[in-house]
Structure 1
């Protein structure tokens, strides 16, 4: 059996009744634990202006996590280039890498906020009959569920207007093409950047920094093509848009050109996973997830993560269930044996070289336990 490493993607989730400070401390604690469990990387996401996620400044948090750990690679999953300049990104991550050489991963992503506003506006124009009453059945590809996403949901006009304001606040408009931004980051790291007039510009903290550059994406679009064309490793976000995982992987491989950084495609696939001692316990802990996803997609963004008892008190309509079904159908929830079996299917069908695991629970100890159980079961399976 091919040995496939596991890595971690964390959002520093804020639990109901908790605080951002507590969530950040839990993230550092989680990194220390998963390092002992044998995970290869610990990555931090970037989210803004929502009360349920504390990982809004990945470079700052990565520096703290790197200082609190010894061996595990630490990085971004992903820093959003639509909200930063390439110079800022190169200098921030170069600085961290100079202090923690050959341990830092710079994962680059596109800002999805502007696109989300467009989808939100379209949703406001839909007639109620356009919202599905039942979730579409996923397509099974050699045992892997590849769902069709149901579009719809109840998004208020006020929410759409707030999102538009957020795009302006975060600098989400008027950005260069994505591949151009990635090329600029690489040029600053390589010491080869030239401005539009051909003048040299040097980012001294970025140059000769020992770090790895990655691209993260969710579809067969600019991200997968940029990763391939520039010869970079690529992460396909099965946990965000599971219906496009095979298309994005194929696009990356078809676009790949060997580079000084990478001589063959290297694909990582993310997965949302929750492991407990048995399937029933895992399903109980997983109850708040549907509401979390619905708030992200159609509400006011990620809210503090509920307890299972709080989640039981939420009422649902059939259309609300339908529009989050793709995430529920593809979240891996169960005992260690269940999780390993489903992750092996994901790895086999996608051909992933590595799997990136994200786990969210209300209680921090349940999250630690999930990663511990998975690591032991994955190693026992020969990985």
Structure 2
């Protein structure tokens, strides 16, 4: 059976504090372990009122300490903002405390900053049309120009990196991380460096990506497992997994490609109730897409009061149209289509709801339906 795992942003909902959000994350992780989920990954987001997962290594340690079996990891460490040694030491420490349970998911968010700034200055590409591939909706690609040109985005560079710092090439950083984990890292003058903790750690290394660009290429060429983001960039998920498989070279880690694909889901006993719980999602995505950063996740009645313009709806259409919302049978069926079309070996689901009990129940219902 295809394994199900969870991606958690530690969402802060309206009327709630970050402390409450983090305690909810611990509770959901414990329940996810009971429900039979395979992995519990924490995202990395910064400077947003609605997300408390800004220090994934710290939160991973708390989640791993509160659970006993489920794998816990990052989805993903923004490698452009940290050095390979810092990452290896953090996750080596986690592995030393929780051996054999830690996943190190790597993303190239820092390296993409220049690309996104260029996108903000470039002419908008011709608007593509949505297509259906064997039952899976592939919407038109979203342009990140608005986000890249926002004041918040510009703050990332000044607050997440030292003045004048430049992010190295992503492939080189992955090479360094693998060498430090293996104990084979040598400096330019031949000095053998040892990361402790870190060297020999049993962390499972993953690459996360949203397109067929460098992340997919690096994952394939290094023979590492690859996680593709249908929930963040549904328009490019098929090109991402295709590029990864085309680039794949067998390694000591994997003999064949291994793909996990993410999806936004909301599950409730009925389709109608699930739609009510999911109603604030569009307003929340709008806050991200306007460049303001994720707002505190609103209650359904708050979302219902928002007056939507045509521009607002166009801004979030791809995310709304590809969110899987409904009864356990409805959502499980849509996830099977996603699995079959992408050839996913695992699925990674993320759920945000204003009421924590609704979020827990969503994962419980989905896990039960998936086993049937």
- TM-score for both structures, normalised by structure 2: 0.95
Equivalent position of 2:352 in the other structure:
360
Maintained 8 Å contact 1:117/1:160: no
Q: In structure 2, how many angstroms separate the alpha carbons of the residues matched to 1:154 and 1:95?
A: 38
Equivalent position of 1:327 in the other structure:
319
Q: In structure 2, how many angstroms separate the alpha carbons of the residues matched to 1:327 and 1:262?
A: 32
Deviations 1:56-106 (A, max 9, x none): 000000000000001000000001101111000000001110111110000
Equivalent position of 1:163 in the other structure:
153
Equivalent position of 2:72 in the other structure:
74
C-alpha deviation, 1:209, in angstroms = 1.1
Maintained 8 Å contact 2:9/2:44: yes
Tell me the SS of whatever aligns to 2:69: coil
C-alpha deviation, 1:164, in angstroms = 1.4
Equivalent position of 2:203 in the other structure:
211
- Gaps of at least 5 residues in structure 2 are none
- Gaps of at least 5 residues in structure 1 are none
Maintained 8 Å contact 2:120/2:145: no
In the TM superposition, what are the counterparts of 1:46-195 in structure 2 within 5 Å? 46-111=44-109, 114-115=113-114, 118=117, 121-122=120-121, 138-151=130-143, 160-171=150-161, 174-195=166-187
Question: 1:208–1:258: structure 2 CA closer, same or farther, 3 Å change rule?
Answer: same
C-alpha deviation, 1:35, in angstroms = 0.3
Q: In structure 1, how many angstroms separate the alpha carbons of the residues matched to 2:118 and 2:86?
A: 29
Q: In structure 1, how many angstroms separate the alpha carbons of the residues matched to 2:2 and 2:36?
A: 12
Tell me the SS of whatever aligns to 1:311: helix
Maintained 8 Å contact 1:131/1:152: no
Equivalent position of 2:335 in the other structure:
343
- TM-score for both structures, normalised by structure 1: 0.92
Deviations 1:273-321 (A, max 9, x none): 1000100001111111111111112131001000000001111110111
Maintained 8 Å contact 2:283/2:303: yes
Tell me the SS of whatever aligns to 1:323: helix
Corresponding pairs, count: 369
C-alpha deviation, 1:325, in angstroms = 0.6
In the TM superposition, what are the counterparts of 1:10-29 in structure 2 within 5 Å? 10-29=8-27
Maintained 8 Å contact 2:102/2:202: yes
Runs of 4+ in structure 1 off by over 2 angstroms are: 119-123, 149-155, 159-163
Maintained 8 Å contact 2:180/2:198: yes
C-alpha deviation, 1:327, in angstroms = 0.6
Maintained 8 Å contact 1:150/1:322: no
Tell me the SS of whatever aligns to 1:324: helix
Question: 1:183–1:16: structure 2 CA closer, same or farther, 3 Å change rule?
Answer: same
Equivalent position of 1:314 in the other structure:
306
Maintained 8 Å contact 1:188/1:206: yes
Tell me the SS of whatever aligns to 1:251: helix
What RMSD, in angstroms, separates the aligned Cα atoms of the two structures?
2.1
Maintained 8 Å contact 1:46/1:58: yes
C-alpha deviation, 1:26, in angstroms = 0.3
Equivalent position of 1:267 in the other structure:
259
Tell me the SS of whatever aligns to 1:340: helix
Q: In structure 1, how many angstroms separate the alpha carbons of the residues matched to 2:133 and 2:312?
A: 26
Is 1:373 equivalent to 2:372 in the alignment? no
In the TM superposition, what are the counterparts of 1:248-263 in structure 2 within 5 Å? 248-263=240-255
Maintained 8 Å contact 1:153/1:320: no
Deviations 1:179-222 (A, max 9, x none): 11111111110001112222211102101111100000000011
Deviations 1:242-267 (A, max 9, x none): 00001000010111111111111100
Deviations 1:220-250 (A, max 9, x none): 0110010011110000011000000010000
Deviations 1:120-163 (A, max 9, x none): 8439x88xxx998xxx75210011001103548977x9x72342
Question: 1:119–1:335: structure 2 CA closer, same or farther, 3 Å change rule?
Answer: farther
Q: In structure 1, how many angstroms separate the alpha carbons of the residues matched to 2:107 and 2:42?
A: 12
Q: In structure 1, how many angstroms separate the alpha carbons of the residues matched to 2:273 and 2:230?
A: 24
